[in-house]
Amino acid sequence: MQKIVVNETGGADQLHLVDFELGAPGAGEAQIKHTAIGLNFIDVYFRTGLYPAETPFTPGMEAAGIVEQVGEGVTNVKPGDRVVYCGAMGSYSTHRNIPADKLVPLPDGVSDDVAAASLLKGLTAHYLLFLTYQLKKGDAMFVQAAAGGVGSILCQWGKHLGGYVIGAVGSEEKMALAEANNCDVVINSSKDGFVEKVREATNGKGVRVVYDSLGKDTFERGLDCLQPHGLMVSYGNATGPVSIPDLGILARKGSLHVVRPMLGAYTSTYEELTNNAKALFDVIQNGVVKVNIGQKFALKDIAKAHNALENRETTGSTIILP
Ligand SMILES: NC(=O)c1ccc[n+]([C@@H]2O[C@H](COP(=O)([O-])OP(=O)(O)OC[C@H]3O[C@@H](n4cnc5c(N)ncnc54)[C@H](OP(=O)(O)O)[C@@H]3O)[C@@H](O)[C@H]2O)c1
């Protein structure tokens, strides 16, 4: 058995592959053999120390696999079941024990690779579109990183719900991908100012909701893309964390709303987790959302995967094969 360990937070060179032995699962736990691990930007935040974790730790929040053993009292899964989970640190490993109430059984129509590429990102897209704000038919929405992991799913699902989807990407090459994610308008923000382009695309009106995963560099300009009473959903910090020293900025820019949501708050019960996952698997199985796995890395090459994600070289989702 192998896992990645971070002894000190820092660069991607802090991700070390080690051998280890795993005991039997405890009461309420299941032992999983991972088949595919999801790479997420939150893994970078923990590795760098932006989000605190006690060292040493094994990063990774998401994986699919097969249940090998279950501990006392586990009834929701059994050995041989295909499962997926997210939001439980320690997925950068070949095997692990995990509380069984984190595990979602996988339907036949969803492969392990697709599950690991989509559960965390797709549950995020789900709560952004249905729970943080209930997107309505005709609502204009603006999505940063529209060719990335969360962005790809968010744009496709938002369009299916009747949204007018404006997506921004960081390079010419990513524009076609954002178009394939069903964006109505795609902006190359390395070339064009996105505020002007969003205003242009909405006849000067602005959008009902901005989904900003970039944080520090784009937050304030994102407010300028909103119509009066519009909603800024700041759900990530790829360029650094956001702070608003003066709430008056929201008044001056049109009585705006801001929310800083986290997935965990929308999947805190097993019922919420499995219901929301079912909604996601449904749109994947009926073809509304196509999960684009842009790249795969071996577990031993995890540092390369982190560097690619941080250097904006990935597209769609990335999976790690143990
Ligand atoms: N709050 C939540 O519940 C929650 C849950 C899941 C994910 N998230 C957030 O959602 C975001 C997307 O996550 P993901 O895993 O799907 O990643 P991703 O979108 O696939 O990758 C990040 C993308 O951000 C863009 N970017 C712009 N400036 C960047 C910079 N300085 N450094 C790195 N990337 C930059 C790049 O796209 P371009 O080159 O096209 O600009 C890059 O591909 C992250 O911010 C993550 O923290 C939040």
Q: Is the CB of 310 under 6 A from ligand 1?
A: yes
Distance 217 CA to ligand 1 centre (A): 12
Whether residue 103 sits in one domain with residue 37: yes
Whether residue 240 sits in one domain with residue 164: yes
Tokens representing 80 are 């041989």
Q: Is the CB of 263 under 6 A from ligand 1?
A: yes
Whether residue 249 sits in one domain with residue 152: yes
- pLDDT range class, residue 252, cuts 50, 70, 90: very high
Whether residue 82 sits in one domain with residue 137: no
Average pLDDT over residues 255-273: 97
Residue 126, domain member (yes or no): no
Distance 298 CA to ligand 1 centre (A): 21
Q: Is the CB of 207 under 6 A from ligand 1?
A: no
Residue 21, domain member (yes or no): yes
Range of the domain at 48: 2-121+266-321
Q: Is the CB of 132 under 6 A from ligand 1?
A: no
**Residue 229 confidence (pLDDT) above 90:** yes
Which residue's C-alpha comes closest to atom 31 of ligand 1?
A: 239
| Ligand 1 atom with the shortest distance to the CA of 40 | 15
Residue 313, domain member (yes or no): yes
Residue 36, domain member (yes or no): yes
Whether residue 249 sits in one domain with residue 143: yes
CB contact set of 173 (below 8 Å; sequence gap of 6+): none
Indicate the residue among 225, 260, 295 that finishes a domain. 260
Q: Is the dihedral of CA 130, 115, 61, 153 positive or negative?
A: negative
Distance 199 CA to ligand 1 centre (A): 23
**Residue 278 confidence (pLDDT) above 90:** yes
Q: What pLDDT does 245 receive? A: 81
Whether residue 195 sits in one domain with residue 86: no
Residue 128, domain member (yes or no): no
Whether residue 182 sits in one domain with residue 208: yes
Q: What is the CATH number of the domain that holds 158?
A: 3.40.50.720
Residue 167, domain member (yes or no): yes
Indicate the residue among 223, 240, 260 that finishes a domain. 260
State pLDDT tens for residues 19-65.
Answer: 999 999 999 999 999 999 999 999 999 999 999 999 999 999 999 99
Distance 23 CA to ligand 1 centre (A): 36
Distance 19 CA to ligand 1 centre (A): 31
Distance 187 CA to ligand 1 centre (A): 16
Residue 127, domain member (yes or no): no
Q: What is the CATH number of the domain that holds 53?
A: 3.90.180.10
Q: Is the CB of 151 under 6 A from ligand 1?
A: yes
Residue 166, domain member (yes or no): yes
The total number of structural domains in the chain stands at 2
To test the pocket of ligand 1, the residue of 43, 47, 214 to mutate (highest count of ligand atoms within 8 Å of its CB) is 214
State pLDDT tens for residues 109-168.
Answer: 999 999 999 999 999 999 999 999 999 999 999 999 999 999 999 999 999 999 999 999
Average pLDDT over residues 91-107: 98
Indicate the residue among 260, 278, 313 that finishes a domain. 260
Whether residue 189 sits in one domain with residue 219: yes
Share of the chain above pLDDT 90, in %: 99
Whether residue 174 sits in one domain with residue 159: yes
Q: Is the CB of 146 under 6 A from ligand 1?
A: no
Whether residue 156 sits in one domain with residue 57: no
**Residue 102 confidence (pLDDT) above 90:** yes
Whether residue 236 sits in one domain with residue 138: yes
Whether residue 218 sits in one domain with residue 138: yes
| Ligand 1 atom with the shortest distance to the CA of 215 | 45
Average pLDDT, the chain: 98
